[in-house]
Structure formats: structure tokens, C-alpha cells
Chain A
Amino acid sequence: AQSVAQPEDQVNVAEGNPLTVKCTYSVSGNPYLFWYVQYPNRGLQFLLKYITGDNLVKGSYGFEAEFNKSQTSFHLKKPSALVSDSALYFCAVDAGANNLFFGTGTRLTVIP
């Protein structure tokens, strides 16, 4: 069975510092991995995805994520956090049949 884990419910980081939001997955076969962001009272916005190729994926708003097959991880990163990055972040995996399995979300708070 496929699953996605986001071990941190909350991540706090000072503005200008690098940020990392963790995600690990469990799925058979080669997964498609995604990151989405959700702002208050809004739907999900696509940030980036990994399908194949380079393990470092660059996405919207300066975010990037690194696919690590041996550690089954797909952590989201940004070199310098902005206050406007404060939101709820979801990691998701598509293990085939176009069914997305989401993690429980990590609330990122960037402190001015």
C-alpha cells in the first residue's frame, strides 16, 4: 500500500533562513512525487513534481525538492524563506492510476 508521511506538523523558520519541509513515501514501483501549497481558505496550488530524471527538481516561488530513492524521501527546500511562504504544504505521491495520496500536511510559519 502506498503512503506518504510528513513527520512535522509545524515548521518555524526565520525570514531569510533556509527552510526544509520533510516528506517520505512508501510505494511500490517508481512514484511520481508532488508538492502542493495551500493558503488559508484556498485550494491547492501546484509547486513542483518529480517524474524522472534529475533528482533535484525546481518549482514555483523559488522552491525545490530533492528526490532520494535510497531514503524514499522528497524534502521540499528553499534557500531563503519569505514571510509570504507561510502556508500549509502537502506532499503527495501518484503511485499509478492517477490516484494521489497526500501527506497530512506541514504548516510552515516564517517569522519576520
Chain B
Amino acid sequence: GAVVSQHPSRVICKSGTSVKIECRSLDFQATTMFWYRQFPKKSLMLMATSNEGSKATYEQGVEKDKFLINHASLTLSTLTVTSAHPEDSSFYICSAQEDPANEQFFGPGTRLTVL
């Protein structure tokens, strides 16, 4: 149980295009989903927290207009990187939580490369 999937696992795009990453909880309903970004040889940095049906809460320094998060249902959250640039290249990981008392379950991550 507690499986979280991400799609795509890997994406390469041209600078200026937008990329959508999906995060799904496959066997539970996630009231809260989190989006992290992992830089090479560095830790994961929380980008935003999203609750189903409400606007995401972004961490300081994260541009909400650039990283659009939609948590439309209890099993799906999407992260759209708008007008991507090479510096947005990174490994993006989502996690999902059924309720605050439970731990977060992580997706397998999405490797974004912006040319």
C-alpha cells in the first residue's frame, strides 16, 4: 500500500516551454501533497504544500507564477514549470499524505532537463 507515482519520470524540453508533472496517490486519498526539488549533491528542498481543493502554500523564494501547482483531486496533484529555463533543470519529487498523523510517501521523482 501507500504507492505514489509520478509522470513522466524523465522529460527534456526546450527553453521557454512549459512542462507538467503529475503526482498520483494510487491506493489512498491524499489530503496533502508536497513538492520537493533536489539539486545535485544537495538535499531536498520543499517547494510547496498543497491541500486538495485549495491554493498551494509556497515556501519562501519559490515563484508561484513559475511553479504552478494544482491539487484538483484527492489522488492527483500537478506541478507545471512555466517558461522553463536551464536553471530549472532538476529532480522534482512529490510526496503524498493521507492525513497529518501519517508519514509522507514519496513518488519516484521526475528528472527535468531544460535545453
Contact = CB atoms under 8 A, between A and B. Distances in A.
Interface residues of B, number: 23
Contacts, number: 45
B43 A42 contact: no
Contacts of A98: 32, 49, 97, 100, 104
Contacts of B32: 98
Q: Which are the 5 A-B pairs with shortest beta-carbon distances?
A: A43-B108, A44-B106, A102-B43, A104-B43, A43-B106
Interface of B: 4, 6, 32, 34, 41-46, 49, 93, 95, 97, 100, 103-109, 111
22 contacts: A9-B41, A34-B103, A42-B109, A43-B6, A43-B108, A44-B44, A45-B106, A90-B44, A98-B49, A98-B97, A98-B104, A99-B46, A99-B49, A100-B34, A100-B104, A101-B46, A102-B43, A102-B44, A103-B43, A104-B42, A105-B41, A105-B43
